[in-house]
């Protein structure tokens, strides 16, 4: 399955149950719990969340740097 089809399927599944704000909160909580998995990466790519948005939503600079090494 190509990237576009997979992204479309994930978008249909996740976008119906999550808002952008909830996705940001979920990603920040997973960073703080050190549970960086593929689901976290999928949320970031699905919603197009940038490091700047994470810091504005309450993540510390150090947390974003850890995430940046892992995903971005």
| Residue labelled with tokens 């990237």 | 3
Structure token digits, residue 37: 């998995």
The pLDDT tens digits of the residues spanning 4-39 come to 666 666 665 555 577 889 889 999 999 889 888 888
Q: Residue 26 CB: number of other CB atoms within 10 A?
A: 14
C-alpha span between 28 and 48 (Å, rounded)? 15
Position 52 scores a pLDDT of 92
> H helices of the chain, where?
3-15, 20-32, 38-47, 51-57, 61-70
Q: Residue 11 CB: number of other CB atoms within 10 A?
A: 12
Number of domains within the chain? 1
Instruction: Judge if pTM exceeds 0.85.
Output: no
Q: Quote the domain boundaries for residue 56.
A: 3-70
């Amino acid at each position: 399955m190509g990237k576009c089809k997979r992204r479309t399927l994930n978008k249909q599944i996740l976008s119906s149950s999550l808002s952008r704000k909830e996705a940001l909160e979920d990603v920040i909580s997973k960073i703080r719990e050190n549970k960086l998995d593929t689901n976290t990466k999928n949320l970031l790519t699905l919603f197009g969340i940038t490091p700047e948005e994470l810091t504005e939503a309450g993540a510390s600079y150090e947390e974003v740097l850890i995430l940046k090494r892992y995903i971005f």
